[in-house]
Structure 1
Amino acid sequence: MGIWQCPVCAAPLQTTETGLNCVSGHQFDRAKEGYTNLLLANQKRRPDPGDNRDMLSARRDFLQAGHYQPLVDELLAQCAGGGDQGLLLDVGCGEGYYLDYLLHHLPQWRGAGIDISRQALRLAGKRNISNAQLCIASSKRIPVISGLFDSVITVFAPIDAAEIHRVLKEDGKFIRVTPGAEHLHELKAEIYQQVQHHEKAETPAGFSLYQQETVQFPMVFSDPQALENLLAMTPFVYKLDAKVRAALLARKSFTVQAEFCLAVYQKAPLNE
């Protein structure tokens, strides 16, 4: 069974040799990297939305080096708790690291990833993620069939609660990762005169909180390239003074606290 629906008419999309099409004749070609573009022109605020190539490449290298491994382990544990097989959707999948890792360790699961960034999907497509389909799409209008997914994950990505509610099965799980209060505190202290703590995310409309975990661990950077990747993959890259940046990268060691809030939600009536 297919998972995608036409972003124009909402009819189910069928897979062809070259892409996806629907009974109304709307066709969407598959890129050479394996993803399909289901983001309509009127859903864009700018010609090439989403994260840029430099930020995505830095994030790919940082994550691939295992700096967020405790978070990935907890994500895997939550998804694995959903059963031996299922269907997983990564909303805001970026360059595909989390989706790739989860499906590699859950070989009986199938998955899909969406992101608004074309550059992100190009990198994700090059991973050749097994049992996964990728599309450029907006999280505000997810082009998948309703009530299909056993689990939906988002990691630091914007959400539309009503859309996630729509695409989940009635007994499905929504797993959301947001920054904890102290996330990257030491790094922010080097940039801002007054450090603002991250606020706890509220339970999205249409969901009830089932479980919540705080994942905390120190990251010790002795390799300047790893620290530079962390800077480049965050908005800090636009705030950091050149002298401060150079001084940071010149340190023999720099310890930064990572803190994530991993919340697991279940569906509830939308009027709650």
Structure 2
Amino acid sequence: MLQDIERYLACPHCTQRLALDGRTLRCAAGHSFDQAKQGYVSLLPGDAHTGTGDTAEMVAARSDFLAAGHYQPIVAALAGAAGGPVDGLVADLGAGTGHYLAHVLEHTGGVGAALDISKFALRRAAKAHPRIGAVVCDAWRPLPLQDGCADLVLNVFAPRNGPEIQRILRPGGRLLVVSPTSRHLAELVSALGLLSVDEDKDRRIDEKLGPWLTRTEQVEVDFRLALSQAEAAAVVAMGPNAWHTDAGRLAAALAELGEPVSVTGAVRVTTYTR
């Protein structure tokens, strides 16, 4: 709930602390932000654009797929890397539906800030766990959080803003990055003509975060998925491929694969420390 994280929030206009007044967040300078009836609050500046956020259809596909447990190995690896306990804030940058943040909070304790640009995703994140507060923001702009307020930052298949992540982490705080390897969903990539993962992705992530944080650990997580054609379609619909795929051609290509569709899951969980 927003009450759990209000002490960590910062006004996007003047960076002063925010406090709840009923269902409205206010700062000392008089800026105010109303909580939506679905539980989230938007702390986007007035000139922000949300066109890159996940659509309602993408969010629904991701919610169903994750709820079925297909990415449970990722959840387990992330919780293991998080360690515990955490007394303060766990911030999830690009939180989506709050699926991963909710599981980490169960493992570590603490309270969670689900940060995402999609209000459709945050409608679900606000209800994913009783200790999650959901905030609409842009990962590439100053994050609406106080300096040094987070014990842990999660970043799962999401944008990474190194300077801002460093700013919001306390000294000794950690960032956990989950990123796909080139083997992730490789069978679907080749059969359906999906976007592929760059072989140099890990190096590029390290180059972007290296000036701000120190890489301290990395584990690789490999697992197998046996998907129905509908579940394989959901994988496409829940990510960036949704913007580049024709539904008719996708259905025809999936029909040729039969069932179950055997797919590789392969990610890295990398720990960075401030």
| TM-score after normalising by structure 2 | 0.88
Q: Deviations over 1:97-150 (max 9, x none)?
A: 1112222333x31111110111111222243x2212111011122100010111
Q: Deviations over 1:36-69 (max 9, x none)?
A: 110112132x5x4401011111001001111000
Whether the 8 Å CA contact 2:215–2:272 is kept in 1: the answer is yes
- Corresponding residue of 2:42: 37
Q: Deviations over 1:198-252 (max 9, x none)?
A: 433232121111001111111111x332222112112334335734533424612
Kindly report which structure 2 residues correspond to 1:174-213, keeping only aligned pairs within 5 A, or say none: 174-192=175-193, 197-201=198-202, 202-203=205-206, 204=209, 205-213=211-219
98, 101, 110: which one aligns with 1:99: 101
CA distance in 1, matches of 2:183, 2:161: 25
Structure 2 regions of 5+ residues with no counterpart? Answer: 1-5
Kindly report which structure 2 residues correspond to 1:43-62, keeping only aligned pairs within 5 A, or say none: 43-44=48-49, 48-62=51-65
Stretch of structure 1 that moved more, 156-165 or 234-243: 234-243
Whether the 8 Å CA contact 2:151–2:170 is kept in 1: the answer is yes
More helix by share: 2
Compute the displacement of 1:20 (Å).
0.7
CA distance in 2, matches of 1:265, 1:84: 16
Compute the displacement of 1:86 (Å).
3.4
Quickly say closer, same or farther: Cα 1:264–1:195, change in 2 above 3 A.
closer
SS in 1 for 2:78: helix
Kindly report which structure 2 residues correspond to 1:134-153, keeping only aligned pairs within 5 A, or say none: 134-140=134-140, 141-153=142-154
Q: Deviations over 1:80-102 (max 9, x none)?
A: x2435332000011111111222
Whether the 8 Å CA contact 1:182–1:198 is kept in 2: the answer is no
Quickly say closer, same or farther: Cα 1:84–1:135, change in 2 above 3 A.
closer
232, 236, 241: which one aligns with 1:231: 236
Whether the 8 Å CA contact 1:82–1:150 is kept in 2: the answer is no
Compute the displacement of 1:194 (Å).
10
Q: Deviations over 1:145-194 (max 9, x none)?
A: 01011100100111110000000010100101111121111001113399
Stretch of structure 1 that moved more, 194-203 or 58-67: 194-203
CA distance in 2, matches of 1:263, 1:228: 28
Whether the 8 Å CA contact 2:88–2:111 is kept in 1: the answer is yes
1:131 aligns with 2:134: no
CA RMSD across the alignment: 2.0
- Corresponding residue of 2:27: 22
What amino acid is the match of 1:89?
A: A
CA distance in 2, matches of 1:149, 1:82: 14
Whether the 8 Å CA contact 2:101–2:154 is kept in 1: the answer is no
Whether the 8 Å CA contact 1:92–1:154 is kept in 2: the answer is yes
What amino acid is the match of 1:113?
A: A
Whether the 8 Å CA contact 1:89–1:111 is kept in 2: the answer is yes
Whether the 8 Å CA contact 2:95–2:114 is kept in 1: the answer is yes
What amino acid is the match of 1:91?
A: L
Whether the 8 Å CA contact 1:228–1:249 is kept in 2: the answer is no
For these two proteins, the number of residue pairs brought into alignment is 261
Structure 1 regions of 5+ residues with no counterpart? Answer: 268-272
Quickly say closer, same or farther: Cα 1:21–1:256, change in 2 above 3 A.
same
Quickly say closer, same or farther: Cα 1:244–1:57, change in 2 above 3 A.
closer
Stretch of structure 1 that moved more, 193-202 or 225-234: 193-202
What amino acid is the match of 1:133?
A: G
Compute the displacement of 1:5 (Å).
0.6
Quickly say closer, same or farther: Cα 1:33–1:193, change in 2 above 3 A.
closer
Compute the displacement of 1:259 (Å).
0.6
SS in 2 for 1:2: helix
